[in-house]
Amino acid sequence: MLPYPQINPEIVRIGPLAIRWYGLMYLLGFLAAYFLARHQLRERGLPELIPRLEDLLFWAGVGLIVGARLGHVLFYYPEYYLRRPLEILALWHGGMSFHGGLLGAVLSGWLYARRHRLHFWWWADLLVVTAPIGLGLGRIGNFINGELYGRPTQVPWAMVFPAGGPVPRHPSQLYEALGEGLLLFLILWSLRRRPWAPGLKLALFLVLYGAIRFFLEFFREPDPGVGLFFGWMTRGQFFCLLMVLAGLGLFFLRRGKPEEGPYLAG
C-alpha cells in the first residue's frame, strides 16, 4: 500500500480568498488548449485566426463551467439543490459534471460559430484534440482534493483516502488522468493533421473518452446517494454510453463530407 500524499488543496490564502489546486488545473487546461490550438493554426498557415480562436475559447469556457455545474445539479443531486437553490452558486464547495460541461461547451461554441459564420465542425476538431490535457489535469486536482476516489482494493498501490474511511482504495483519479488525459491526448494529437471530414475527430473523441471512462468507472467508488442503473452501471457510465452512441452517430453523419475551411461560404 502507498501512502496518500497529504497536499493542502489551497495553494495560498489571503484573507477570505484562496487559490486552490483544482482551480489552477482548470486554468492550466484552458491555457494548454489555447496554445495547442494556436500551434495548429500556425501549422495550417492561418495565424490570422488566432483572435477568433481566443473569442471562441472564452465563450466555450463559459459554457463549460456553467454546464459542468448545472450538469452536477441536474444529473446527480436535483432534489438536494431544489431544497437549497443558493448552493448552486457555491462552486467552491465542489461538484462539476464532465458531461454537463461538454454539453455546455458544445452549445456555446455552436452558438458562437453560428453567429460569426464559422464552420462549427472545423473548429470543434481543432479544439477537441487539445481537450484531454485539461481532463487529465482536472483528475489530478480531484486526487489532490482527495475526492472521487476508487473502490476498496488490495493492490500494492492502493491508498487510504482521508474521506474514504480506513480501507485502502484504488487511486482511480490517477487512472483517469492517465487514460482520459495522457493516453487520449497522445492518440488525438497524433491524428490532428489527418485530412478527415470535419467532425470526425470530435466523433472519435466522444467514442474513445466514453469507452475509456466507462471501463475506468469500474475502479471508482460510485457517487454517494446516486442510484445504479441495472444494479451495476453508475450514472457516469450511463452518460459515457450515450457519448459512445453519439460519437458513432456523428461518425456516420459526417463521414464522406468534403473538407471545409474555418468560415462558412458566402
Q: What SS3 state is found at 261?
A: coil
List CB contacts of 75: < 8 A, sequence separation 6 or more: 97, 99, 100, 235, 239
Query: Cα–Cα–Cα angle for 182, 188, 191, nearest 5°?
Result: 140
139 labelled binding-site residue: yes
Residue 67: what are its φ and ψ, rounded to 5°? -65, -40
Q: Comparing C-alpha atoms, which of 42, 41, 7, 182 is closest to residue 122? A: 41
Residue showing cell 448545472: 70
Radius of gyration of the chain (CA): 19
Q: Are 100 and 75 in contact (CB under 8 A)?
A: yes
Q: What is the sign, positive or negative, of the torsion defined by CA atoms of 122, 127, 187, 39?
A: positive
Q: Which residues pair with 229 in a beta bridge?
A: 233
Q: Can you say which residues are annotated as belonging to the binding site?
A: 139
